Amino acid sequence: MAGLTHCPTGIDGLDKITDGGLPAGRTTLVAGGAGCGKTLLATEFLVRGVERGEAGVLLAFEETAEELAANVASLGWDLDRLQAEGKLVVDYVKVDREQIDMTGDYDLEALFIRLGLAIDEVGAKRVALDTLEVLFAALDDTARLRSELRRLFAWLKGKGVTSVITAESGGGSITRHGLEEYVADCVISLDHRVSDQMAVRRIRVVKLRGSTHATNEFPFVIGATGFSVVPVTSFGLEHPASTEAVPTGVAGLDAMLGRGGWFRGSVTMVSGESGTGKTTFAAAFADAACSRGQKCLYMAFEESAAQLARNMSSVGLRLDHWMDEGLLRVHANRPTELGLERHLTTVYEQVELHDPDVVVLDPVTDFTALGGGLDIKALLMRIVDYLKNRQVTAVFTSLNHPLGEDTALSSLIDNFVHLRMLENGAQRRRSLFIQKARGMAHSHHVRGFELSEDGIDILDAVAEAAP
Amino acid sequence: MTDSHPTAGDANGASPGPIGTAGAPGALADSPPPETWELRLYVAGETPRSAAALANLRRICEEHLAGQYSIEVIDLLERPQLARGEQIVAIPTLERRLPEPVRKIIGDLSNTERVLIGLDLRPER
């Protein structure tokens, strides 16, 4: 007997941790508490299905079709249009205990009929039921209900549709009513925890028949385009390419670039040894964004917000002022205090929360304290990919850009600026060069620079030697 | 197709007017002249449970609503879109369409007392 085939859901990251997708033609149970993203997962499963040419049916027990459509509109999903185009059926199943009396034996045949009708209407390949808990609240005779749901799962299998069924977690088992007993093929658990005053969403594949699925918990975020399960290196190259220049905050550097700044949505790595001024460049970039009235998220991994503000005030950058104005948000924590995935989650969540125009990660080097090199690369790729998709312009700082040789990451980083301290006789002088600035006819000169109360001053070329 | 059972044509229900049983609801007497109870029973094919529900319903109506009710039996296998339109999930479901508000009673209607309460023919105690 051949193993299960997988139905790629199209949900970012989920297919990776399920070894290629949910079991095709089978039922997947998605369990979780209130507000953990069950409805969104079920809905996205259908929306992504339509994108792949697979029509879908959503039996919604908790929200009306209108409410659902309104809730996901911000993610760019137009459920009304999908329905009008005959690619999706949303059937709101209203079972209101207030209007229902019970007497004697019953079955759920009417629900089967409704579902069958909807499946036939659009030729659905995907079905989602969200959430079965409502039936337990509305109907008597739990034993009868459970046996009917067991029949429903078998019926769905017989229909050959790939289905996602959501249920509340609780009661010491995966789902409150033990429905996982009836779903042999795939069980996924969602979790929304708050620890260290930080909310973290996690997903875990509890059971997946015939597969070497990843068993860990993975953080996920509900981003601008839906679900995103984090530790995955699947990234696309479909980012928009803006020609809008975002000033670097250093006039001399803008001039060296020839375009007046970094391209919007690009990612710049400022690297250099300790004490070369990486943070100052990052802070100048943040300061410039705020002076234009833009929002900046500054992820500080070595200094507290107060330290950063104090240190930068010595070079004429008033970060505290922008913090007060609400334009600059400094989120300071040490990577070692958090798990690797938590860390990425934090970046995601801060971006979602603050909706910045520019982002600084200072430094990304500290991520190496968190784990193996492979993980770090994957993590940074995810961050870069995410920021680019949002068209956020980002500056990372890095100690001696240890990632420079990595072709995959290097291809994602648009610009490299390298800072150095050059010994010249008895003096050490600061200098920089642009190793790469994608899409710009930038200077190839090594330039000296000085830090003063007025900021960063790029000097005339100190050496004509090309890098 | 739809099996309609207006009382007028029902061989069993010959007695005119409401039967005044001991526990007859005041609601009936208070209501403006002949109120009609429009009932629908949703079934899916011919099953023993559905047959039992219909038999129970007919008996209860004859005893308490003679001459004042109509029963429409809807087979959802034939009219599946009504399951969606009328928000039916379970079989059998009895729907009191009139008088309003609409009420639903799920099950084989084996407990007469509960049916009477569900239909508002007997005040809930």
Q: Tell me how far apart the alpha carbons of residues A128 and A45 are, in angstroms, rounded to a whole number.
A: 8
Q: Tell me how far apart the alpha carbons of residues B9 and B48 are, in angstroms, rounded to a whole number.
A: 24
Per-residue pLDDT, A222: 76
Higher pLDDT, A162 or A438: A162
Dihedral sign, Cα of residue A58, residue A61, residue A66, residue A72: negative
Q: Tell me how far apart the alpha carbons of residues A446 and A452 are, in angstroms, rounded to a whole number.
A: 20
Taking only the tens place, the pLDDT of each residue in A1-17 is: 446 788 888 887 788 78
Judged against a pLDDT cut of 70, whether residue A402 lies above it is answered with no
Q: Are strands B93-98 and B103-106 parallel, antiparallel or unpaired?
A: antiparallel
Per-residue pLDDT, A317: 93
DSSP state of A85: T
Judged against a pLDDT cut of 80, whether residue A137 lies above it is answered with yes
Q: Tell me how far apart the alpha carbons of residues B37 and B71 are, in angstroms, rounded to a whole number.
A: 8
Per-residue pLDDT, A308: 94
Judged against a pLDDT cut of 80, whether residue B12 lies above it is answered with no
Query: Where does residue A423 rank: exposed (0-12), middle (13-18), buried (19+ CB within 10 A)?
Result: exposed
Taking only the tens place, the pLDDT of each residue in B75-110 is: 999 999 999 999 999 999 999 998 888 899 999 999
The answer to whether the bond into B33 is cis (omega within 30° of 0) is: no
Q: Tell me how far apart the alpha carbons of residues A437 and A375 are, in angstroms, rounded to a whole number.
A: 26
Q: CB contact, 8 Å: A107 with chain B?
A: yes
Determine the distance in angstroms separating the CA of A75 from the nearest CA of chain B, rounded to an integer: 28
Give the helix/strand (H/E) hosting A349: helix A340-354
User: Chain B partners of A118 at a C-beta cutoff of 8 Å?
Assistant: 84
Q: Tell me how far apart the alpha carbons of residues A425 and A35 are, in angstroms, rounded to a whole number.
A: 64
Judged against a pLDDT cut of 70, whether residue B29 lies above it is answered with no
Q: CB contact, 8 Å: A102 with chain B?
A: yes
Lowest mean pLDDT among A146-155, A181-190, B32-41: B32-41
Q: Tell me how far apart the alpha carbons of residues A93 and A64 are, in angstroms, rounded to a whole number.
A: 8
| Minimum-distance CB partner of A117 among B84, B87, B90 | B84
DSSP state of B102: P
Judged against a pLDDT cut of 80, whether residue A312 lies above it is answered with yes
Determine the distance in angstroms separating the CA of B84 from the nearest CA of chain A, rounded to an integer: 6
Q: Tell me how far apart the alpha carbons of residues A98 and A200 are, in angstroms, rounded to a whole number.
A: 36
Taking only the tens place, the pLDDT of each residue in A202-244 is: 888 888 877 666 667 777 777 667 777 764 444 455 567 788 9
Torsions phi, psi of A112, nearest 5?
-60, -45
| Residue A361 amino acid letter | L
**Average pLDDT, integer, range B70-74:** 94
Q: pLDDT band at A107, cuts 50/70/90? A: very high
Q: CB contact, 8 Å: B61 with chain A?
A: no
Q: pLDDT band at B3, cuts 50/70/90? A: very low
Cβ contact A99–B118 (<8 Å)? no
- For residue A251, give the nearest of A461, A420, A455, A442 by alpha carbon: A455
Closest residue in B to A115 (Cα–Cα): B84
Percent above pLDDT 70 for chain B: 70
User: Chain B partners of A107 at a C-beta cutoff of 8 Å?
Assistant: 49, 90-91
Q: Say whether the ipTM exceeds 0.90.
A: no
Taking only the tens place, the pLDDT of each residue in A254-281 is: 999 988 999 999 999 998 888 899 999 9
Percent above pLDDT 70 for chain A: 85
Closest residue in B to A105 (Cα–Cα): B107
Determine the distance in angstroms separating the CA of A227 from the nearest CA of chain B, rounded to an integer: 30
| Minimum-distance CB partner of A110 among B42, B114, B117 | B42
**Average pLDDT, integer, range A51-80:** 92
Average pLDDT of chain A is: 84
Q: Cα separations (Å) of A43 from A77, A113, A151, A182? A: 9, 21, 23, 22
Encoded tokens for A152: 């429903």
Domains of chain B are 1-6+36-125 (3.40.30.10)
Dihedral sign, Cα of residue B52, residue B57, residue B62, residue B64: positive
Q: Tell me how far apart the alpha carbons of residues A349 and A369 are, in angstroms, rounded to a whole number.
A: 21
Q: What is the 3-state secondary structure (H, E, C) of A293-311?
A: CCCEEEEECCCCHHHHHHH
Higher pLDDT, B107 or A174: B107
Q: Cα separations (Å) of A287 from A140, A281, A380? A: 62, 10, 24
Q: CB contact, 8 Å: A94 with chain B?
A: yes
Judged against a pLDDT cut of 50, whether residue A353 lies above it is answered with yes
Q: What is the pTM of this model?
A: 0.62
Determine the distance in angstroms separating the CA of B6 from the nearest CA of chain A, rounded to an integer: 24
**Average pLDDT, integer, range A446-466:** 76
Determine the distance in angstroms separating the CA of B17 from the nearest CA of chain A, rounded to an integer: 27
Question: Chain B window 29-48: which residues touch A at a Cβ cutoff of 8 Å?
Answer: 42, 44
Per-residue pLDDT, A466: 40
3-state helix, strand, coil in chain B (%, to 5): 30, 25, 45
User: Chain B partners of A60 at a C-beta cutoff of 8 Å?
Assistant: none
Per-residue pLDDT, A385: 80
Per-residue pLDDT, A209: 79
**Average pLDDT, integer, range A55-82:** 92
Average pLDDT of chain B is: 77
Higher pLDDT, A312 or A385: A312
